Structure 1
Amino acid sequence: MLLQAIPYGLAQNVPPLFIHYLHTDFSFSLANVGLIFTVGAVASSLVSPFGGAFYSKFSTRMVMFCAMLVSCVGLFMNAFVTTLPMYFLANAIIQIGCVVYSGLGVPYLIGTWFDEKTKAQALGVAFAGGSIGNFFLQPIFANLLHKYAVNSVDGLHHVYLIAAIAALVVGCVVLLFIIRDHKVATAQNANASAEAKEETTQLQGIGAANVRKLSSFWILACGMFFIGLNISAQSSQYANFFDALHIPAAIVGTVGSTFAIACLIGNVSGGVLFAKLGVFHSALIAFVLQTLSCLTMIALYFTHMSWLGYIWAALYGLTVFIYMSGPAIIIQDLFGMRESSESLGLFSIFFAVGFAVGNFVFGLVVDKAGYLSAWIMTLVFIVIGYLILCAMIKKIQGKDYAHMNSLPTK
C-alpha cells in the first residue's frame, strides 16, 4: 500500500498537476503535453509482456526494486530536461518502471503471499494505497507548484526534483527493508534466480506459453481493449464535459473529490467482491455500474442538473477495481499463478492501448459530432467490452486451467 501511495502516486497521479506549468513555462501546446502521457502509456504497454517474464526468472523483490529505480530515473530526468522529446523519453521511462513494479509486481507478490480466498481482498487494499496517497499528494504538490513553478522553469524543475527524491527514498525503504519474497525464510542459501525458479515450479496453472495458445485468452483480452476505451473517456473527459455544460468549477472540484472517495471504497470493496462472488459476478457488477454511469452523463447532457455529476462520480468510482486489481485477479483465477505475471503483461497491453487511444477517439468524436455522440459511443464500448469479458470468463472457468499444469491433450 505504501509503495502505491508514494512512488506510484508520484509517478502516475501527480503528473497531471504539471500540465498547466509545462504549457505556460515551456510554451508547449496542450496537445503536445497530452502526447507526453500517450507516449508513456504506449511504452509501458510494449514492455508489459517482457517485464512479466522477469518474475519467473529472478527474485520478485529484486525485479520490483530495479523497476522502481528505472521509474525514478525518469522522474529525475524531468527535473533537468527542457525539450519536448526529452519529456517524451522521461515519461516513457517512468511508465516502463511503473508497469513492472506496480502493474505486474504488486499483483504477483500478493498472489504468492496470500491464498485463493484472501488474495483478492489483499490486492484491493494494496491498490487502495494509490487513492489514499492522492488525498495528501495532490494538495501538497498543487501548493508546491503554485509557490515555485509560476513562470519559473527552475521552480518547476525544483518541484520535479522533490517528487523524484520522495519516490526514491520511500521506494528504497519499502523494497529493501519491508517487502520480502515468499520463499526467503526457506531458501536463504539459494541465489535469487534459483529461488524464483523453485517458487514457480510449485505454483499451479498452465503457464504463459500455454495461455498464449488459447484463442479464448486473446478474445478475453480484446474485451479489455474496449473497456480501456471506456475507462479513458470517463476518467479523463468528465472535467472538460462539465466545463462545456458551464457547471461551476467549485462543483467540478467536489465531484472530483467524490470520485476519489468512491475509488478508495471501490478498491477495497472490489477485493471483497472478487473473493466472495468470483470474477464473473464482479465483472457483471462493474458492467452494470459503468453502464449506469455513462447513462448518467447522457442524462446530464440533456438536463444540465449538476447533482447528476455526483451520481456519476459514485457509480463510476466504485468500479475502479475492474481495471486496477481486476486484470491480475482475472488472469490468476482463470489460468493459475504459474507465470501469471507474463500472461498479465500480455493481457494488459490490450487495456493500455485502449486507454491510450480512448482520449483521442473521444475528442475526435466530440469535435465532429458533439458530446452526446461521444457518450453514446462510449456506451457502445462498454456493452461490447463487458459482453466479451463476461462471456469469455464463463467459458474459461469451465476449463479449470488454474488447477492444471499443462493443457489437456486432445
Structure 2
Amino acid sequence: MSEKQKMDAKHLMIVFGCMLLQAIPYGIAQNVPPLFINYLKQDFGFSLASIGFIFTIGAVASSLVAPFGGKFYAKFSTKLVMVGGLIFSAIGLFLNAIATQLWLFYVANAIIQIGCVVYSGLGVPYLIGTWFDEKSKAKALGIAFAGGSIGNFFLQPLFANLLNKLAKNSVAGLHKVYLYAAIAALVVGIVVLFTMIHDRKMATSSQQNTSSEQKQEMPQLRGIGAAATRKLSSFWILASGMFFIGLNVSAQSMQYANYFDSLHLSAAIVGTVGSTFAIACLVGNVGGGVLFSKFGVFHSANIAFVLQLLSAGAMIVLGLNPHMTWLAYVWAVLYGFTVFIYMSGPAVIVQDLFGMKESSETLGIFSIFFAIGFAIGNVIFGFVADSMGYVPAWISVIVFIVIGYLILCSMIKKISKEKYAEVLN
C-alpha cells in the first residue's frame, strides 16, 4: 500500500470514527434526553418548567467551560483531551442513574454537556482540521457531524421502547435505562477513541531544517492565534451574531412539536414531520460541508439565512391556517437543511476566518454566544407565546434571524478581506 493510500485510509478512519462518536456517545447525551422528560414528570413529579431548566443549565455550563476546554488542545494530545471529555460526560450520565432529586439532575446534565463540548464541539472540529486541508475539511466535518442524525434513527426508537417497558411509574426502571445509556456511551466512545482516532504527527515550527514549504503544510501554524483574535472588535461583533442565531435555533428546534400539538395536528403527522426533519438534518449536515467547500462561509451563511427565514415564515402561515398541514413538512425540510450553520458552521467559520492556530480556544469563546442564545431562546419564545400567542412568537424568531444573519454575513465579508487565516507563524 502506497503512502497516499495509507493516508487516505487514515483519513477515512478519522471521519468514520468521528461519525460514530457523534452517533452513539454524543447522540445519547444530546438527542435522547428529551425522551426522558415525561418519565421524570411521572416518576418524580417534577414540573415541566423545572425539567426544562435541566437543559438550560447544561447549555450555560458548557458555554462557560468551552474557552478553557479549547486551551487543552493547544497543550495536550488531541486524543487524550477527547478521552477526558468523553469520560467526564459519562460520569454525568452515570449520575443520572442514581439521581433522585432535581438538583442532582441539574448537576448531571451540566457535567454531561461540559464533557460533550470538549470531545465533540471542540475536539471533532480540531481533529478534522489537523487531518484535512482547506478544500476537504468542511466536507469531512459535515460528514462527521451527520453521525448525530444517523444515530438518531436508531437511538430514538430504541430508548423509547426501553422507557416504555421499564420506566412507567418505576424509578428503578428509569434509573436502569439511564444506566444502559451511560454504559453504551462510555464503552462505544472508548473503543472508538482508542482504535480509530489518532493524532496527526506533524512537525512544529521550532524544529530545525523546516522549510517554508513544509510550514505551509502545517495547518496548526497558520492563523493569528486566540490572543490576537480576542483583540479584534470584529471577532466579538461576529460572535454576537451567533447569539441571535442561537435564539432562533432554540425556538425552531425545541418548540415545533408543542406548536403542532397546539394546532391539533394528529400524532401521526407530528411523527412523520419529525422523521422528515431527521432526514433533512442528515442531508443538511453532509450538504452543508459541500456548500462550505464549494461556495465558502459567506455564501453558505446567506443560504442558511434564506432557508431559515422561509422555515419560520411557513410556521406563521401554518398558524394562520392550520388546515395547510403540508407546511409542517415544508418547515421540516427547510429548517433541517440548515443544520450545518450551527453544527459544523462555527468551526468552519472560525478556522476559515482566523486560521487553525489555537482554533479550539477561539472556537470555545465563539461558541459561548450561540450557547447562551440557545439556552434562553426557548424561554423567550415560550414567554411571547404565553402572553401574545404563537404567531407573534414566530414573528420574534424572524426578527432574531434577520438580526443574527445580517451581523454574521456582514462581518464574515469584512473579516475575510484581512486574510488572517493565511498568516504563517
Residue 351 in 1 paired to residue 357 in 2? no
CA distance in 2, matches of 1:9, 1:244: 28
Unaligned stretches of 5+ in structure 1?
Answer: 188-198
Deviations 1:295-347 (A, max 9, x none): 10111011111111000000000000000000000000000000000000000
Shift of 1:270: 0.2
Residue 255 in 1 paired to residue 273 in 2? yes
For 1:183, what is the secondary structure of its paired residue? coil
Contact 2:82/2:123, CA 8 A, preserved across alignment? yes
CA distance in 2, matches of 1:164, 1:210: 40
Across the two proteins, how many residue pairs are aligned to each other?
Answer: 395
Residue 393 in 1 paired to residue 412 in 2? yes
The residue that corresponds to 2:356 in the other structure is: 337
Unaligned stretches of 5+ in structure 2?
Answer: 1-18, 205-216
The residue that corresponds to 1:135 in the other structure is: 153
- Counterpart AA for 2:347: A
Residue 276 in 1 paired to residue 304 in 2? no
Distance 1:202 1:18, change over 3 A: closer
Q: 1:66 aligns with which of 79, 84, 87?
A: 84
Residue 381 in 1 paired to residue 400 in 2? yes
Q: 2:254 aligns with which of 236, 249, 267?
A: 236
- Counterpart AA for 1:386: Y
Shift of 1:133: 0.2
- Counterpart AA for 1:366: A
CA distance in 2, matches of 1:202, 1:163: 36
The residue that corresponds to 2:211 in the other structure is: none
The residue that corresponds to 1:292 in the other structure is: 310
- Relative to the length of structure 2, the TM-score reads 0.91
Q: 1:312 aligns with which of 331, 346, 352?
A: 331
Distance 1:140 1:395, change over 3 A: same
For 2:141, what is the secondary structure of its paired residue? helix
The 5-angstrom pairing of residues 5-16 of structure 1 reads 5-16=23-34
Contact 1:207/1:405, CA 8 A, preserved across alignment? no
Contact 2:223/2:420, CA 8 A, preserved across alignment? yes
Shift of 1:28: 0.5
Q: 1:176 aligns with which of 194, 198, 219?
A: 194
Residue 3 in 1 paired to residue 25 in 2? no
The residue that corresponds to 2:282 in the other structure is: 264
Contact 2:285/2:344, CA 8 A, preserved across alignment? yes
**% identity of equivalent residues:** 73
For 2:282, what is the secondary structure of its paired residue? helix
CA root-mean-square deviation? 1.4
Residue 212 in 1 paired to residue 230 in 2? yes
- Counterpart AA for 1:3: L
Distance 1:158 1:202, change over 3 A: closer
Shift of 1:169: 0.5
The residue that corresponds to 1:119 in the other structure is: 137
Q: 2:105 aligns with which of 87, 109, 127?
A: 87
Shift of 1:202: 4.8
Shift of 1:117: 0.4
Contact 2:244/2:400, CA 8 A, preserved across alignment? yes
Distance 1:201 1:325, change over 3 A: closer
- Counterpart AA for 1:243: D
For 1:324, what is the secondary structure of its paired residue? coil
Shift of 1:177: 1.5
Contact 2:219/2:356, CA 8 A, preserved across alignment? no
Contact 1:41/1:92, CA 8 A, preserved across alignment? yes
- Relative to the length of structure 1, the TM-score reads 0.95
CA distance in 1, matches of 2:152, 2:37: 17
Deviations 1:348-403 (A, max 9, x none): 00000000000000000011111111111100100000000000000000000001
CA distance in 1, matches of 2:218, 2:364: 17
The residue that corresponds to 2:344 in the other structure is: 325
Deviations 1:244-276 (A, max 9, x none): 111111101100000000000000000000000
The residue that corresponds to 1:245 in the other structure is: 263
Shift of 1:201: 8.8
Deviations 1:161-198 (A, max 9, x none): 000000011111111111000118x79xxxxxxxxxxx
